[in-house]
Structure 1
């Protein structure tokens, strides 16, 4: 009921006449002062309206947006200011409080738009039953509100709604045949869940037998085929017996057994053979081909290599007499398996002769692993030719009947000074007649010192004042190292691993002690391939994870190992360097070189993991050569 208080117009006029000042309003009581200074207290009659809230009801559930409105006062919604007529669309629990003067109205309501979810299990998950009724078990998921009703449909008929119960028996009749039950869950807000229905499978039928591939689909859930995960829409074509089980998220499953029996065509394979490869892997063709199908020839994807040979494609015969193929060629399967053999082209290498002051000797082109033809001995006035040697240091003599060419090679002439000026051709002094007895005569003249063979002196323009100048120019004069075309050496530049291989093999001849194992990052076309592989077969260098890292800078520790193995120095000893603990992988190599003073430290440190400069490399080589000789 709306209560109203009324003040008359006449009384109001009296107040206007009599009142000089309005002093204060207090709890609907008004105090006036008259012209005489007397005060009086009078009752004031006012008008009041009750709070009315529309658009929402207290305690209600809603599954749509709501727009609360109120006629007077101010309001808060969940403690925040709220304006009448504002739409609320977010799910949640709400408290709306409207205040007008001493009046307060509060209502609570709930907005739930999310359909309820849960698990509906029919007949305990079994596909078959002989009963007229099946058990229904429902497990709701946690949500904002409880499920109040259950809707069900039988074989596609309109849904019927019944009060919610977590389990009950549903009568389905005693007629044989497939029966499809569908369910929906309904909450107090009227939200309906998606339809829950047993999986429906198409493409195969229970007990079916098929002579062609079948594409199987199902409308929901997950599936297994013979125990393995199966995706809807996948074609099954292999001959055999199959069991397909489709299970929905509620645990309902449908099982179908079927067979596929179709003629199996003959399948043929393509195999690749390395045919003598010393490294790499043959390509693998995992496909099988029916008769008449095209095959695309693989490239050398496994980086097959063969020492002394270059890969030149594939051939259908092991001896290369069949049909040649290169990468991406195609051929047809002709009712048989096919093996393609790597085709190898033998490498040709250059044998050069450094006559060391003698007349020029022509170079030879020699096939891999074959002997060279011994050239005519060179001439050098005042000297006797002493043969061709494998290294600048003239240590190992080359045998033209035994030694074979495995890489580009330079042989070096050895000379000894002639004891007679009549022997300018390089022969030996004639022996005295056997029937004569030589009578020694005193030699009053001192024997002249035998002059050393002449050797070009090499200098570099950027070594003036450098600590390693003499050592660098000495090894350069021996042909072991070279500089840059502009006449510089760049002594402080880091040396690369592939440059190290070239210099070491230029100075020494190494025999193989193990099978060649190719590196993934050093192809036969690499300019230093033969040098790197020579050190690998000699057991001097190894890769890391199948790679040689040719462009990486050589570290001081790596250099210590290489020199120790190249000069056949026994590893071991004691290291006094602070930064080389006994657990360091290169400890024994560094110790061996340190004891021979081939390597030196810097303020008690060796810095094993720092890159080697070109000058440091030459210094270690120089000291090693002098110690070993």
Structure 2
């Protein structure tokens, strides 16, 4: 143990941490010998160069500088303690004067080493990604369950490593990135492999240019990762063009797409080749959209919107060199950018002798949505504008083709979709076009249908008046023609069919159909009666019902007078008795219903205290349950439906109606018409006397019994307010105080009128219980006790300035105004005089 202590001090001395005190070393049995060893070892370290200390067995690879710990066993204990510290700068003196990254593991290894134990060796590598590597210091006998401090910089004995255009952000091992200077915990896998390698991780530096200005490198903000960095844009200064304001949008790298601007810009990086080198791949300025980038320079171009009116970028698409644009007394030739137009301004386009005038509002509507574009190729900014291309097709006249029939039941179809009783098409024609006929703009995909009419062609009416025969030969007059009305031509059709033919063994006869000119006659077929189960008669033939609402007999001749006529065979169903009843004999509904007709249900029956379940019906000697309202056809027999019921239960609860206590909390549920006993507890409520429990119609006393009605019952406590006296105290008033009166608790009590008192003015009624002063006519809420209202008074006046009779109060001082004096007083007063009254009473002043 003593040898281990001396060996540890020897290591500390060599590292420049501890100065050896001979007195301390002398405590060991071999102090003198060991001290000599330490001294010699220290001198040897100071004299040796780094090159003499360690001789690698073989030359390391070009991109890695690897140091292997010697596997030879030292001969003496002193040699065991000697540690060669290799600093990245290559200076032995620096190794002695400071503790480097390898010193602490060495000292810990020495402290934990058992005497005579074999050393455990391993290789530690730092790969810098720039073609150079350097090894760490010797990790003599370092346990692999200890931690290791990583380098804070990519620095080796060859100096500081750097990758041009990149920032060093940490070390990678096993797919995990460690921060510079972080502590790495050695794993069992490291212990088994005896090889630990850390690779430097680099992230590309990013520069920014705004509106083509100088490229400025960006400073990395906090919370950056290898894959994402957010930069602050809040301090970017922009100079607004005249009559424009910043639109809070950026165009990135001149790609023409505006993105919403925020105060930050986020750049994402990727290590595409798994080399721990992260290059910029996209930028995001709006918080949502990642825009791919090809290099580390990001160019942002500002977007501006006009503060006055709207801008337009008009493109000449007419093909004419004489295309002109006139706006706000300014003429522009060809494609132009026009600024600051108001919605009421008009823009005139001209080309090849034709003129087109549009309001700015119309142009904006045609463009729909503004875009951001440059005013010219030399411009670096983008401006909000409406983009339009004017072609020769814009110089047009509109004519209409109207499809309309005189029959209201005609339906037009546009490409198979119903267009109603009429439809139209607007066509644009251009001046000077030869051979432009009505046939060119007629719609081939328009069809017409009118019930069962047969379509036989079209009729054409020019401008709604004149019929034309051939639309292919009739040219459109650009100046005079405005519309072409198209009407369908129909042939009358007739059909005799058995749509409602009853089911029978003989089957349904084939319908007789055809078309004919109005006036032709047809013969209607004949039908036989139909029987059903048990040879019961179900239907009798009743003739043919025409679409004109008339019934025709068999073989009757019918002359077609309408465009469409149909006949359907009519059958009269045999009626049977239909009843809806209750078990108690109640009849809800009774009557007759035709066979196979839809059964009409009566109103759903109700029964106090019961819930309707369904109906029970006997059909062909079998009882069948049927839901109310279920869709059924009448049977070929007399039918009776009997109602089925279930008894109801109802909830009974208590409402204290403001009670302070004594209200039963439970809610019970009992069947209809069973006995319920009211709880015997009597509730209490401040200011009130309990009167009983009310179910809304009857008030019951605690313990009473009643039959459960056909409803939920809430027993509400009934209260009678306590009555108290309101008393008045005149407090010396000349007039009598009002008489006392009774008032219920919590009711509003109106205060009586004021009183009179010589020499005083009434100043309200003081409410004794609260101390509040109430004016006549005011009100207060009656407390749960008697209340006294006491009159309050104040001196009527303190000075006499006019002649007259005054009631003065004994002991009260008054001011006698100039020229005033008591009657009989011969004195003359020219100023105010204070007088004192010897006795209350009336006094006359002159």
If the TM-score is normalised by the length of the shorter chain, which range does it land in?
0.3 to 0.5
TM-score normalized by structure 1?
A: 0.34
Q: Give the TM-score taking structure 2 as reference length.
A: 0.27
Larger Rg: 2
